[in-house]
Chains A and B, each alone.
Chain A
């Protein structure tokens, strides 16, 4: 179903009309369409690229603030806890007393209880409070947003140095490869069905072909800097990125098989018109996509190529100034692109969740459906970014390179092949093409009919339950008592907090 905010077509037709009307009777009349096309392409690209890049500030902001909260750091953050604790001792006052008829008293009780249980003054001693006190000073409207712009401008003021014995041509070429290939992808990715830069028929193929140029640039950077550290980093990076391209592409192949198309917009439409997000039909593929993407964009836990502890920034150690700034920005652009791609492939893109159900509520439904699709895309992308990329980064250590490679080749690759096989089976045998529907409520192609009983959305429900169950079973500890030799997948022998020194 097409999003109502169809800027692409809107601008196309308006520019044609406008150019024809404006240039009627002038000597440019015959080329009015071409001029219109130029203006149209320019504005559409600006909107797409600008939209993605400006909304990328949100990504940077989320990363910093969410990361900080997980680290229990102070800062201007929208912290849920500050709703009852206040900021630096300043609260909103006992506003519930102003609710008439004494109806606000329960709110006051909840507030007091929250303060007692999770507040600042649970301890009798000021010193301990100092540790637990989350506070910030002053009032800001956009807490921390402009920091990123300032950071970017700071990079412009730094010196660009080329190491004296570096391979100069390749040294200059490498960041160009990485950065430009990353930005090119942004043109392919639609923000909604009406906002996109370009929409070739095989846009998925093209996007991931471009995505795969970056490892080459990384390797060039590592080699040409004339630095043993960067060489090591570049080699590790090349190996890692190559290893994880394949499960990534195979999981996308699974998506394309399910959706029957290599086009972004059609894949998203398919999710709506078939009745369920692809995440529930292929959770294995979704997880594989995420893990491979984390490895592709070199974030913790897969950031061994730039591990600060050993390699001090890895393959981009020798770059200074805006080259480093743009490489850094390119990494975040790749993360953002990965998040938006996940939203498109597995979470229904720009379609509002439960469009049919909520959409039929009298006034709320209309409001729900009136939200432009681009907002949904961005919200989903930010959600996935926060929950997967940032959270994994804060909680997990780095994996060693050979362990990363082993994981990629020996575990993810077979699973990706399995996912492709499953996608084939689902599409061929469980897909009911006649139930595709383009209405607001979507279709119901994945129902399971067994012995006369129809389970609506049966296939996604069963699939999801199966994989969650498998995950839960595998998460449980192996039998520690029998299995004394520590192997990687066994947890610690004494669970946290239970070991007594001197006792067995």
Chain B
């Protein structure tokens, strides 16, 4: 049969977002691919040139809506670099915990979408059920389940509520048992292994050269994690390890390795949370009023022309960077240029290349194992 181009998307149950993947198939084998992005390009970078630094934080939540807290944190770090603001230690701990809870929620969302892609519909309900626990925690912090607008330049908006720490501990401890349940369902299922092993090889050096970072690289056997290579916040004071997985072959990590890395990352996040809530300065059961200097320092609001701020952040899907140039409208109240580097924007074309040579049925496996999120891709 002659080769034909199939268009997957932009409306497609598999694509985890709004983008088009055109594949050229010869029977069932993929011979070429083309990724088309930009369907939900909202012009965030341009909009932010007309916004205050504080007004930009909600936009960053909406970049990757599944992992909003980490993106807001990443932006706020860059803004603090630009405005030369300091952050009190308690606020750093709170931000760390919020980011790790968000990482758990994001990975659960990933698994809840990945499982049905492979065919295991049970995972969707299980993962979303457990994600509810963490969304409740984040709702207490930020007020809404998805777009929190929580970090502020110089700290956080409000302190953790009384009892939040206890709820966090109870939920994390329950969740650690639930991860075992997921692994029992998946890792002991031959069909799961058969679908994911041997599919979608990617080596570490190749990925880094192409700009792919984060859990995808750690699945290929190197434990590079921005939280220790370019350290920020208080990650060097809490107890954790980067999650690494041994790749299957010299050809690199397959989908199974990437899946295992994320399961392990969930465990590490649990570990971090339990440690951080014990170590938080001021204790978990004290509540400081919003604006108190334990959780927020007053930051300058204007950045002079020529000042720049840059943040390196380990987002759930890779390394995200914000690059802000000061000196915009309002005599420096707005940024002159705000540039966002999204890990998925680079990963999706790379993944589209990885798929060549495998079958059509492997496309959701490979795509899903790299965990795409189109909100941050298109900005």
Contacts and interface: CB of A to CB of B under 8 A. Distances in A.
Asked whether the complex places CB atoms of A and B closer than 8 A, the reply is yes
B98 interface: no
B92 to A, nearest CB: 23
Contacts of A301: 119, 191
A396 B132 contact: no
Given A72-B125, A401-B359, A495 B119 contact: no
A71 interface: yes
A486 B198 CA distance: 8
B117 A396 contact: no
B183 A400 contact: no
Interface in A486-504: 486, 488-493, 495-497, 499-502
Contact of B115 (A130, A397, A403, A497): A397
Interface in A128-156: 128, 130-131
Q: Interface residues of B toward A: which range? A: 35 or more
A402 B209 CA distance: 33
B125 A71 contact: yes
A398 B179 contact: no
B242 A502 contact: yes
B235 interface: no
A62 to B, nearest CB: 16
B47 interface: no
B210 interface: no
Contacts of B187: 491-492, 495-496
A378 interface: no
B197 A71 contact: no
A396 B268 contact: no
Contacts of B167: 125, 127-128
A304 interface: yes
A101 B248 CA distance: 68
B12 A312 contact: yes
Interface in B259-294: 260, 264, 267-268
A40 B129 CA distance: 54
Nearest to A123: B170
B82 interface: no
A489 B193 CA distance: 8
B360 interface: yes
B242 to A, nearest CB: 6
Interface in A378-400: 393-400
A474 to B, nearest CB: 11
B8 interface: yes
Q: Interface residues of A toward B: which range? A: 35 or more
B170 A400 contact: no
Given A128-B174, A488-B194, A501-B241, A309 B14 contact: yes
Interface string A105-125: 000000000000000000111
A125 B361 contact: no
A398 to B, nearest CB: 3
A106 to B, nearest CB: 31
Nearest to A311: B360
A399 B364 contact: no
A463 B198 CA distance: 37
A396 B194 contact: no
A216 interface: no
B193 A488 contact: yes
A403 to B, nearest CB: 6
A343 B121 CA distance: 28
A153 B132 CA distance: 35
A347 interface: no
Contacts of A397: 115, 118-120, 189, 191-192, 195
B185 interface: yes
B207 interface: no
A72 B123 CA distance: 10
Given A399-B191, A402-B28, A488-B193, A499 B361 contact: no
B192 A304 contact: no
Nearest to A304: B361
A309 B16 CA distance: 10
A73 B361 contact: no
B227 interface: no
A328 B199 CA distance: 32
A300 interface: yes
B166 A125 contact: yes
B194 A486 contact: no
B133 A396 contact: no
B133 A131 contact: yes
A396 B191 contact: yes
B209 to A, nearest CB: 25
B302 interface: no
Contacts of B130: 131
A70 interface: yes
Given A127-B136, A128-B133, A502-B242, A395 B13 contact: no
Contact of B171 (A128, A228, A492): A128
Centre residue among A70, A495, A496 by max chain B CB count within 10 A: A496
A398 B192 CA distance: 8
Interface in B360-375: 360-364
Interface of A: 70-73, 123-125, 127-128, 130-131, 228-229, 232, 236, 300-301, 303-304, 307-310, 312, 393-403, 486, 488-493, 495-497, 499-502
24 contacts: A73-B125, A123-B174, A124-B170, A131-B174, A232-B28, A236-B28, A309-B118, A309-B119, A310-B14, A310-B361, A394-B122, A395-B122, A397-B191, A398-B361, A399-B191, A399-B194, A400-B194, A401-B28, A486-B256, A489-B190, A492-B188, A500-B241, A501-B243, A501-B244
Q: Which 5 A-B pairs have the closest CB atoms?
A: A398-B119, A496-B183, A397-B119, A71-B125, A502-B241
Given A309-B117, A312-B12, A492-B188, 13 more contacts: A72-B126, A123-B170, A128-B167, A232-B6, A300-B119, A300-B121, A301-B119, A312-B13, A397-B189, A400-B361, A401-B28, A486-B198, A489-B190
Interface of B: 4, 6, 8, 12-14, 25, 28, 115-122, 125-126, 129-130, 132-133, 136-137, 166-167, 170-171, 174, 179-180, 183-185, 187-195, 197-198, 223, 241-244, 246, 248, 256, 260, 264, 267-268, 359-364
